[in-house]
């Protein structure tokens, strides 16, 4: 039986994973914003630094069409509709970037959209957040009982075989909400050892996830029952754990969501998003769930086909059963919940934006299934093939600005229904056409450091990765030696100990 828990070597491996993916993501980013939600969050941070208030100011320099607004009931205050923690981490980054960072790039064949976003903010935000998310996936997989190589597989699949790689380029709030979700699950798994402090941390992190994206409040209805169920086997009663988790969660949600809503709209319960419409109110209530799974432009199984194996692994793989089932429930809720939205596609985005947040959970499921004894070489080959498809699409999304891809679709006259369901008019098809344009020198790659550094970009990235890999190899060799020598030392110590 694999012993659950994280040791010193796991912490070192997670640190190395963070460094590797930080380098990969840093050299992948375009260092600009890609959608209105990113621009709105950036604007809130900028205005707080420059004016002492996060209230939005139109045409300073962002036009009204680029700002997603929430209006207070008194009509005098206009602020971002998004969560407090979605933009608050950008505040110190903007302060730093405005003092020492470079200016935004002007419009060009490489960066076709006019940008008012300071590049250093983008370089320091999601590349680092997403790299930390990859490291936390490894730690979560180890904590629930997966062996090291399977936990590494889960982390790598999430890091490069899912849309997370593309969203690491952006200022999207999804990686940040996802890392809080993974941390909350890790706290639940850690609580199985009988400590209450991981329970408190889990509640705090689940509350922070809701303060980033309001829909992540659903974590409470999955994690709290999971904790109650598992507490019976760990604590004398389920009540202390449930009270600690709820109090911790509420301590964050009350100010981070409730009071922030009160500031934005004048109502604790109204976030300013507006009334969401649902497909169950239409004659095609099923179309969103099908589309969010299988649409050529937005389907999870198109952009991350290994996700199907991951869900299977969450249900029947190795590792802590209660936590696996909790992750499976969260994945299912996400598919059904987002799939009932009228805007299930998520707007002008790359792939399954809404479901990108559950990619870490499904990647852990893949690792859990790989660890089962019945999963032999054919299974490994199947996983490798499905993951390779996801990696290829992620590379396509990384190399080309997906806003440029949408402009290509509009240029060829693609209609919404065609983009949803016709592979020729999918975003993947658009990026393949953009790749051909790049081959003919008509456009540039959406890679900021390549644009600034030039031919030295690849050698610098390769040297950084080689240095980190060498350090990782040294750590693994040292760990292997310690594991082999430790029993010998213990045996020698026992022999020297005099018998009574």
Q: What pLDDT, on the 0 to 100 scale, is given for residue 233?
A: 55
Q: Tell me if 464 sits within 8 A of 16, measured CB to CB.
A: no
Question: What digits encode the pLDDT tens for the residues 107-136?
Answer: 877 777 788 999 999 999 999 999 999 999
Taking each helix axis from N to C terminus, what angle separates 197-212 and 239-253, rounded to the nearest 10 degrees? Answer: 30
Q: Tell me the CA distances in angstroms from 142 to 11, 219, 244, one per residue in order.
A: 10, 21, 25
Quick one: pLDDT at residue 1? 40
- Cα–Cα distance, 409 to 431 (Å, whole number): 9
Q: Please, where are the H alpha helices in 125-173? A: 126-143, 148-160, 164-167
What are 380's two structure tokens?
């490994």
pLDDT reported for residue 234: 58
Predicted TM-score of the model (pTM)? 0.93
For residues 77, 81, 84, 90, the Cα torsion angle rounded to the nearest 10 degrees is -100
Residue 188 CB partners (closer than 8 Å, separation 6+): 198, 199, 202, 223, 226, 227, 230, 323, 326
Q: CA-CA distance, 280 to 337, in Å (whole number)?
A: 11
Question: Cα 416 from chain centroid?
Answer: 27
The predicted pLDDT at position 283 comes to: 57
Query: How far from 285 is each of 193, 235, 274, 353, 497, CA to CA, in Å?
Result: 44, 44, 21, 20, 74
Residues in the chain with pLDDT values less than 50: 1-2
């Amino acid at each position: 039986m694999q012993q659950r828990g994280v040791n010193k070597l796991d912490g070192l491996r997670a640190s190395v994973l963070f460094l590797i993916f930080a380098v990969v993501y840093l050299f992948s980013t375009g260092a600009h914003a890609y959608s209105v939600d990113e621009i709105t969050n950036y604007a809130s941070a900028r205005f707080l630094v420059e004016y002492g208030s996060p209230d939005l100011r139109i045409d300073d320099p962002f036009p009204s069409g680029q700002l997603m607004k929430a209006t207070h009931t008194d009509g005098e205050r206009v602020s971002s509709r998004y969560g407090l923690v979605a933009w608050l981490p950008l505040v110190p980054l903007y302060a730093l970037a405005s003092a020492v960072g470079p200016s935004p790039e002007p419009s060009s064949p490489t960066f076709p959209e006019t940008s008012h976003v300071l590049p250093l903010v983008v370089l320091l935000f999601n590349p680092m957040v997403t790299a930390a998310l990859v490291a936390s996936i490894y730690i979560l997989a180890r904590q629930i009982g997966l062996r090291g190589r399977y936990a590494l597989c889960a982390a790598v699949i999430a890091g490069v075989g899912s849309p997370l790689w593309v969203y690491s380029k952006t200022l999207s709030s999804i990686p940040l909400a996802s890392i809080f979700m993974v941390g909350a699950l890790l706290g639940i798994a850690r609580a199985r050892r009988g400590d209450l402090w991981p329970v408190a941390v889990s509640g705090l992190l689940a509350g922070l996830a809701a303060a980033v994206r309001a829909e992540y409040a659903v974590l409470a209805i999955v994690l709290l029952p999971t904790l109650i169920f598992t507490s019976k086997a760990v604590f004398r009663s389920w009540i202390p754990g449930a009270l600690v988790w709820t109090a911790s969660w509420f301590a964050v949600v009350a100010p981070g969501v409730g009071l922030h809503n009160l500031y934005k709209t004048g109502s604790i319960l109204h976030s300013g998003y507006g009334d969401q419409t649902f497909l169950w109110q239409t004659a095609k209530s099923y179309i969103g769930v099908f589309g969010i799974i299988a649409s050529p432009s937005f389907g999870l199984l198109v952009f991350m086909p290994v996700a199907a194996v991951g869900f299977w692994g969450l249900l029947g793989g190795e590792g802590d059963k209660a936590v696996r089932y909790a992750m499976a429930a969260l994945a299912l809720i996400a598919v059904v919940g987002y799939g009932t939205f009228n805007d299930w596609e998520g707007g002008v985005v790359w792939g399954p934006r809404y479901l990108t947040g559950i990619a870490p959970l499904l990647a852990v499921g893949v690792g859990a299934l790989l660890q089962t004894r019945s999963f032999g070489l054919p299974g490994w080959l199947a996983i490798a093939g499905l993951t390779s498809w996801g990696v290829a699409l992620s590379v396509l999304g990384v190399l080309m600005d997906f806003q440029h891809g949408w402009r290509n679709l509009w240029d060829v006259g693609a209609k919404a229904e065609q983009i949803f369901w016709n592979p020729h008019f999918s975003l993947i098809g658009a990026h393949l056409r953009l790749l051909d344009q790049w081959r003919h020198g008509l456009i540039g790659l959406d890679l900021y450091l390549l644009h600034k550094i030039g031919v030295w970009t690849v050698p610098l990235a390769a040297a950084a990765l080689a240095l980190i890999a060498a350090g990782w190899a040294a750590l693994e060799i040292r760990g292997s030696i310690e594991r082999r020598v430790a029993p010998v030392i213990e045996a020698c110590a026992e022999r020297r100990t005099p018998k009574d």
